Structure 1
């Protein structure tokens, strides 16, 4: 009987300590976010020789916001950059859209690359390879199709590119859009994602996502170029890891990456979260044990049981207070990341927050029991370490 009691007390101590650690992450994210995000960008100086940037935009298909999103790259206030658009399929309607923007802004250096190389299983890497090889500047900005830029975003990113820095990335966030799915997306990226992202950047842990990343090209070329990472689906994580392993710094800039995809529904968003969870488990297997404990409802229940056993506190009361304080902290963090009024009211936030927090553990379990990854028209299987293999290769006619 005694060994069983010691085991229970051991679990209780572990859950309580882990719960305390999660609250430290909350505080770090709130204070670091307030300090780091939305800094005032220094105005451009006319006689300063700013380094050039090659912006690679991999595209596939057209959504209702694509034209306006891409147009923000033609209107940025930065003195020297080129736009390199990559489209795999020569029948893709995005080709005509890009050409129309190139005609509308003839003074912007822009080129279109049609057709993908085969350098690995990662379709994004294959799509970008020709543009990467043709890039003329030392700095490469890889930017997903759904990203919307402010006029000074590129300058903000360059301001954080020091001599010891090889990668500057934006923290993922989302644009203001209508509908419950848009509310859910903004809540997720402004709370659960931002909390981990900001805390990880504060303690210098690799948290890089590749949706908007400024890379020092010479450092990446020393690794063999972008094609070296074509064997991974999570190429962003492994690119950042290779830089860190060689002593380079990676940093986030002050402006979050504004995702503004014209396709916004709950099913596609949850499929996206599930795919990311599968990638994390394959890259870092320890995630399967600890990530569920970062969820509000899960760690709250474990901590409530723990304090009931260790301190004889009321477990139900503790659990309800835990959820309330977590909710308040998430509202504060989301307001910091938004840096302005939110596009929904507090009731919408309550509903969206509860839905996200209750569905999070389910999506993670679904990721564990179905390890295959579906990305657009392709299906992949991941091995431990993140190496990907395409199960159903796309047939080219």
Structure 2
């Protein structure tokens, strides 16, 4: 068996806190929503019951409204900011007051399909909770058509250039004093700026002062943008949840209606001038005019087209490894700055699922091989410089280990190693 397989399992086990998994120690010391979903996928390759436990623990902190928060603060950790004392959501255990990309249904389907018999009852119990979360998304955040975010952190692509126009309208002067903790764990040059953080905290303060009333946050909050990435992940998750619902004997008419509504709304985020899907400020109607990796998640939802194909190949061929998180030909491109240029193995995996499902196996394999190369060279980092493979962000990262076990490490060479083991 490949030693990298052993390392990946050891990382996931090492970050396991009993029912939930940390993204990585130090930098991210709690349970993060979409990280947990990928952790479940990884666990399913060697511990199927533990995979379902991960999803159950995530959904156990679902709010009465149906929202699943982006952070669950199971155990206090003074090394992270902003912690539960800043969010003050009144939940038990404490949580943040915003959500994150709804990939849990897609990951649940992948886990279930790895062992349908063992997962049947677990999926049956999880289904109504996932359905309630999707209903929250559609009723609260899709009121303008595409899926909207009220904070860049909800996108999972925190400081990507897509959000610059919305961030410009947020007055960070009222953030108040605070002490960041992230820059003590990784190179500050790889993290969002102080000005960004002032605006992030201003948005958190607004939500807290509104009692986390989502209708008020959507109507009056300082930030509201249509997110192509969330839109495509939600559309795919709706369709995956419908597949599972049918298998469980449920009427999935509601899910089918949501998916159709989202697909019908896609023209609202197509920027003809950019030649791609684009983020849009819903307060002004203005496009971001930035080609980012969120646009390419269209392939996950079977929403590609020839114009986007040309953009994908142009951007991809401009770097050496994977899909960059921002256009390498744009002035804002920074190959090592969080979501402003690096390639993310976890996003590459989502894109590859879409490419594979649409029959574009050659592109899916190219993406897998390039991601495999990054991990073989440098290990299980959070993200990488797409030009020279420099590892960036957190080390021993759960979701990078998970996608190694499920996808990146599944090439012909890995199969030969396993066959010889």
What TM-score does the superposition give when structure 2 sets the normalisation length? 0.25
By relative contact order (CA 8 Å, sep 6+), the higher-ranking structure is 1
Which protein is bigger by CA-based radius of gyration? 1
TM-score when scaled to structure 1? Answer: 0.27
Higher strand share: 1
